[in-house]
Structure 1
């Protein structure tokens, strides 16, 4: 069983009944949609493509049978769930994020370099990173990225977690596969009961 199948089946079993019912409305991204994602992000991990082929987003995503707003992902922050972005939302985020971390924070970053993990290149635009997830506060507080342009201390494909106030960018997994395994091993602890 692939890591995506393990994650998907474990997730469905762990979700509350109402979330399971809503998630059942979701369908997967089409091959055309996945090709569009690969065109912009040629190094997109197969495991993310496989997950999107099962569920094309849960962040207020409209499907034929109804809207889906189910929190199906987590991070290293306990009991703090995240939505999966759809292919379309990921591509929208790509187009909207042409500034780097260094650009966004300017002098504040120069005075507080510890806000960015040494494995993350603060000069790379956020749009070059694949933003696959927004947190339960619709992304304003935390987002998750796949980073294809790390520093020499990092790993291509590492997963970054941004959190706001105090702002921080941290690598939480060396790959998307490792990220899914972290959620499985943690027994989907991010899932809230209600």
Structure 2
């Protein structure tokens, strides 16, 4: 199945099982109707984004955004991240640009915040796929959970990571968590999570 096909099935699961997912009724609230009106990003929009930030977007990310350039208030990405069930809305490319102007707009290592991250905490958080930053210019938020958690594309992974992997930033207490090796794997995980729970 393609990313688009998996998301179309996911949309159906979400609308039918919103109560179990702990979210508002997307149809009654009008979120799904608004979401249905959202089109995909164009090649020109991808090129503009890449030129603005000097990056090359992964093909699976472009496949996702060719289908939907954002999700509005519809919580499209239902994720299970290390046992935490979290619902994310998808930013549009324009929203990604805006968020980038104030979030992950600088480089700051975990060790730059000794009051918050002791050596012991940093050791507990260590993941050989993710460089030990709290903020990094090469991380791009593309989805949010209530503006306190963000799924991010990682363009500067650590030695066992992969360019284009997906990582999760959560606030209070701040933490960076590996989520998926790619956007395609992320969508596959969303689809499997919904299918296993509601099929």
Q: 1:56 aligns with which of 58, 65, 69?
A: 69
Q: 1:30 aligns with which of 25, 39, 42?
A: 42
What's the CA shift for 1:105?
A: 5.3
Report what 1:85 is aligned to: 91
The equivalences for 1:87-166 within 5 A come to: 87-96=93-102, 97-102=104-109, 106-107=113-114, 108-111=116-119, 112-113=121-122, 114-123=124-133, 125-135=135-145, 137=146, 139-140=147-148, 142-166=149-173
Report what 1:61 is aligned to: none
What's the CA shift for 1:164?
A: 2.2
Give TM-score, length-normalised by structure 2: 0.76
Report what 2:14 is aligned to: 15
What's the CA shift for 1:82?
A: 0.4
RMSD of the alignment, in Å? 2.7
What's the CA shift for 1:11?
A: 2.1
Contact between 1:27 and 1:54, CA under 8 Å: does it hold in 2? yes
Give TM-score, length-normalised by structure 1: 0.78
Question: What is the count of residue pairs matched by the alignment?
Answer: 178
Matched, 1:172 2:179: yes
User: How far, CA to CA, are the matches of 1:51 and 1:86 in structure 2?
Assistant: 11
Which secondary structure state, in structure 1, belongs to the residue aligned with residue 137 of structure 2? Answer: helix
Report what 2:19 is aligned to: none
User: How far, CA to CA, are the matches of 2:159 and 2:117 in structure 1?
Assistant: 20
Matched, 1:184 2:191: yes
Contact between 2:78 and 2:194, CA under 8 Å: does it hold in 1? no
Unaligned runs of 5+ in 2: 16-25
Report what 2:73 is aligned to: 69
More strand, by proportion = 2
